[in-house]
Amino acid sequence: MADKMDYASAGVDIDLEGSAVASLISSLGKSVRQTGTPGAPVDLPGGFGGMIEFGDHLLALATDGVGSKLQIASMLNQWSGVGIDCMAMNVNDLLCVGAEPIAFVDYVAVPKPDPEVHAALGASLAEACRLARVTLAGGETASLPGIVTELDLSGTALGYLKKGEAITGEHLQSGDVLIGLPSSGIHSNGYSLVRRIMEHSGMQYTDTAPFDCNSSTREILRFNKDNDEVSLGEVFLNPTRIYCDPIVDLIKYAQSSESEFGVQDIRGICHVTGGGLSNLLRLHDSLGWEISNPLTPHPEFNWLAESGGVDTWEMYRTFNMGCGMIIAVNHQYADGICAWLQAKMAGIQIIGHVVDNGRKVVHSPLGIEYTHY
């Protein structure tokens, strides 16, 4: 049995990050853009993306990078997934406020440009644009040998929605039903811990994964197709799922006259990123969340927990544990919405419900709970 590991011991100081970001935000003043004019800020409760006014619409921006998952991509020189990761981290945040992503720009910082790497990144971003149904509206490659030692990739996504149709969590009620959408793997969070566990395990990223990766709810993007066996590197680099399909489609269907439910029946959407299940707490100030019928974690999560001696509580607040997005809906239409989503994506199920019993997330089968994001 390994020493017990957690996210902080893997070198990530979440408190320090939080206080740095708080310092930055406290230095910012009010926007000069007046309410009712293009660009005026819109403060909505619980929003993941920043929103501004634009006529009858709101525009939302999200900016994020791939993070230390890139270090595995660099080590293996495998770039086919990271453009998808970068897109996913941004557009999935936009979906949480009910915005439809329409455009994306990428920012790449490298010690030295490499045309082969850039061609692979371009192909990955092109696939990402197809999956997210957005236009790549620009990008920047910066050569910064004094600042970066290997490639950093981030991006910004732009989305829009009609005024009055933002999904904010403010209409959440006790009894609302939680629908879980399966992840494709580890997505783009928790990689400091993944890399630490890999070092500790003595395994190589090129080693065959010591578990069965097959699953009806996700496919592994293979980069070494000559080998029948899936490597640990392929599992860990599997690109983050992009949820535009089915979430944008669900919102459009809810807006249509065919639908018996409306956009207001989609009460909250949560992108399960770093922080795992505790992300749900961001959606409401007082309500709680009970996960009674969770999705099954992919086998790599079990392998990481065992190899790193990571306890269950820590696993569920670091990783998505098989569930990449959670949609809270009016219980009256929950079965219909779930069936509509299941027809679009395998592995979706009702995983729990909203409760009025204090602001906490309870995973009842495992008996763990979270009271802080």
Of the listed pieces 45-53, 226-234, 246-254, 340-348, which binds its own copies according to CB under 8 A? 45-53
Compute the least distance from the CB of residue 315 to its own copies, in Å: 21
What is d(CA 341, CA 62) in angstroms, rounded to the nearest whole number? 25
When asked if residue 9 is in the footprint of its own copies (CB under 8 A), the reply is: no
Q: Is 12 in the site for its own copies (CB under 8 A)?
A: yes
Closest to its own copies by CB, 89 vs 178, is 89
350 binds its own copies (CB under 8 A): no
Site string for its own copies, 169-198 (x = CB under 8 A): ------------------------------
| Collapsed DSSP state (helix, strand, coil) of residue 273 | coil
Number of residues that bind its own copies (CB under 8 A): 88
Coil, strand or helix at 143:
strand
Going by C-alpha positions, the residue among 264, 280, 372, 267 that lies closest to residue 321 is: 280
Q: Least CB distance from residue 159 to its own copies, whole Å?
A: 9
CA–CA gap between residue 285 and residue 13 (Å, rounded): 25
Q: Are 306 and 200 in contact (CB under 8 A)?
A: no
Identified binder of its own copies from the candidate list 51, 84, 178, 304, rule CB under 8 A:
51
DSSP secondary structure letter of residue 208: B
Least spacing, CB of residue 304 vs its own copies, in Å = 19
Whole-angstrom CA distances from 26 to 15, 72, 116 are 16, 35, 42
- Residue 294 touches its own copies, criterion: CB under 8 A: no
| Positions 100 through 139 that interact with its own copies (CB under 8 A) | 100, 102-103, 105-107, 109-110, 112-123, 125-126, 129-130, 133-139
Verify binding: residue 366, its own copies, rule CB under 8 A: no
Q: Minimum CB separation from its own copies for residue 163, in Å? A: 13
Rounded Cα distance between 346 and 119, Å, is 32
Contacts (CB under 8 A) with its own copies, residues 143-162: 143-152, 154, 156, 158, 160
Q: Measured from the CB of residue 195, what is the shortest distance to its own copies in angstroms?
A: 8
Q: Which residue of 2, 4, 31, 262 would you call a contact of its own copies, by CB under 8 A?
A: 31
Determine whether 60 is exposed, middle or buried from the number of CB atoms within 10 Å of its CB (0-12, 13-18, 19+). buried
The label of the residue with tokens 């939080």 reads: 18
> Of 96-104, 171-179, 234-242, 280-288, which segment contacts its own copies by CB under 8 A?
96-104
Q: From the CB of 35, what's the least distance to its own copies, in Å?
A: 11
Of residues 48 and 261, the one with the C-beta less far from its own copies = 48
Yes or no: say if 271 and 95 are a contact pair by the CB < 8 Å rule: yes
Q: Between 58 and 177, whose beta carbon lies closer to its own copies?
A: 58
Regarding 49 and contact with its own copies (CB under 8 A), the answer is: yes
Contacts of 32 (CB under 8 A, 6+ apart): none
Rounded distance between C-alpha atoms, residue 25 and residue 29, angstroms: 8
**Beta carbons within 10 angstroms of residue 1's beta carbon:** 6
- Is 23 a binding residue for its own copies by CB under 8 A? The answer is yes
Lookup: tokens for 113: 């440009």
